[in-house]
Amino acid sequence: MAGAELIGKEEIKEVMDVLETGILMRYNFDKERNGVFKVREFEEAFAKYCGASYALGVTSGSSALKVALTALDVGPGDEVLVPAFTFLATYEAVMEVGAIPVMVDIDETLNLDPKEIEKKKTQYTKAVIPVHMCGSAANIDKIMEVARKNKLLVLEDNAQGCGASFQGKKLGSFGDMGIFSFDYVKTLTTGEGGMIITNNLDLYHRAEWYHDHGHDHNPKVGRGLEGRTILGFNYRMNELQGALGLAQLRKLDYIVAEQQKNKKIIKDALAQVQGMGFRHLPDPAGDSATFLAFNLPDEDKAQRFQNMLSAEGVDTVCYKRNAWHYVPNWEHFLARSTANSKKYPFTDPTYKGKVQYLRESIPQAEDILGRTLVMGLSVKMSPEKLNQIKKGIEQAAKNM
Ligand SMILES: *Cc1c(COP(=O)(O)O)cnc(C)c1O
């Protein structure tokens, strides 16, 4: 649960700053707002934290994906490579901009396998979206190398990996653009919210314009007189979200450090179990430790162990059987049931490819996710709670 566990006086103070001026909108009202620019301040602090040049706050992680894809000029006729293990939003965002998501396999990191890029790309492929699932990195250096070689754009979906890094560089800052989610269950929360980061000024401007009806945010004129070059929509973050984000960001290093401690205790207990394996972490020191993923030799053993743990009050998820994070389980997506009765973008005549979503095309995901169990971790885990989990693991192992 992370950031949501820590909402306290720091968040209250930041939010009160906003309520005292009454200016809830991030733009305009410069006289009335008394120097309070929470979203802008949050963006600056967030960019700095990530080592990125620019950051743009938006309404959600899902809209961050859509705004970023739009800035990258991904659209009708394009294919985008997306891992089979991710939250639905990554696929939805690709379809929202009129492009077609192509399902690719994962590796032992549980994230996009770099080898898949050359295997699954076609003449229509424009971009790849590595997703850093469950708080830990994909093989991002290799992914960047292969994507660059093949002239593909890279958008990192780092909705779940806020605060995580690879070899000292924050996840989200490797690709052309990176996105984050601050929904209620993410590492940091602003209730709902999201962020886009990039080092490219042109991409930043395109995102900034698109997310606010094309407004160029010229500080010299009033909002009504601002210029515009492209049409857009409204994905603006508001000042209350910005205020929450500022307070939460200051807690991020603490969140990660506490979760790493809790994770180590549980991982050490699991390591005693016969046949136990763990998710490959390309850089363990950079793990945000929001989840612990471990695996058994086969699916049957994993299911048995999950049931044994559950009987001891220890909950885990097997993502192969999860309804929201594994493409083969999305019956509405497989039926191409977009909200549009014409099934756009699948029926878009400018799309010349022949996408298919077959379980057989992702054998590694089928194998690895089938025998992997994932445990959600928290910042606040009492010694009693950790002990109960340790005892549960020991008991489950005895009963196997
Ligand atoms: C949560 C999540 C999103 C969407 O973020 P929201 O803020 O909930 O819209 C996108 N991708 C992944 C991997 C996520 O976990």
pLDDT at res. 1: 76
pLDDT at res. 161: 98
Does residue 194 have its Cβ closer than 6 Å to ligand 1? yes
pLDDT in tens, 147-182: 999 999 999 999 999 999 999 999 999 999 999 999
**pTM metric for this prediction:** 0.98
Does residue 183 have its Cβ closer than 6 Å to ligand 1? yes
Fold of 2-252: Aspartate Aminotransferase; domain 2 (3.40.640)
Q: How far is the CA of 200 from the centre of ligand 1 (A)?
A: 23
The protein residue whose alpha carbon is closest to atom 2 in ligand 1 is 159
If one residue of 183, 237, 317, 374 were mutated to test the ligand 1 pocket, choosing by the most ligand atoms within 8 A of its CB, it would be 183
Does residue 366 have its Cβ closer than 6 Å to ligand 1? no
Does residue 89 have its Cβ closer than 6 Å to ligand 1? yes
Does residue 375 have its Cβ closer than 6 Å to ligand 1? no
| C-alpha dist (Å) from residue 273 to 260, 295, 301, 372, 373 | 20, 11, 12, 14, 14
Ligand 1, residue 132: give the atom nearest the CA.
13
Q: How far is the CA of 135 from the centre of ligand 1 (A)?
A: 12
In sequence order, the 6+-apart residues with CB closer than 8 A to the CB of 340 are none
Q: How far is the CA of 228 from the centre of ligand 1 (A)?
A: 29
pLDDT at res. 400: 83
The domain segmentation of the chain, as residue ranges, is 2-252, 253-398
CA 84 to chain centre: 14
Domain 253-398 has CATH 3.90.1150.10: yes
Ligand 1, residue 160: give the atom nearest the CA.
15
Which single residue is written with the structure tokens 């693991």? Answer: 393
Instruction: Kindly report the average pLDDT of the chain as a whole number.
Output: 97
Q: How far is the CA of 20 from the centre of ligand 1 (A)?
A: 31
CA–CA distance, 5 with 13 (Å, rounded to integer) = 17
Assigned token pair, 275: 């046949």
Does residue 160 have its Cβ closer than 6 Å to ligand 1? yes
| Percent of the chain surpassing pLDDT 90 | 99
Ligand 1, residue 60: give the atom nearest the CA.
7
In sequence order, the 6+-apart residues with CB closer than 8 A to the CB of 244 are 7, 11, 14, 15, 182, 189, 190, 191, 193
pLDDT in tens, 288-333: 999 999 999 999 999 999 999 999 999 999 999 999 999 999 999 9
Active site residues: 186
pLDDT at res. 370: 98
Q: Given pLDDT bands bounded at 50, 70 and 90, which one contains residue 367?
A: very high
Do 177 and 47 contact (CB within 8 A), yes or no?
no
Q: How far is the CA of 158 from the centre of ligand 1 (A)?
A: 9
Does residue 156 have its Cβ closer than 6 Å to ligand 1? no
| Percent of the chain surpassing pLDDT 70 | 100
Does residue 135 have its Cβ closer than 6 Å to ligand 1? no
| Helix or strand run (H / E) with residue 209 | helix 201-210
DSSP 328-376: GG-HHHHTT--SSTT-TTTT-TT--------GGG-HHHHHHHHTEEEEE
| C-alpha dist (Å) from residue 153 to 20, 92, 101 | 43, 18, 14
pLDDT at res. 34: 95
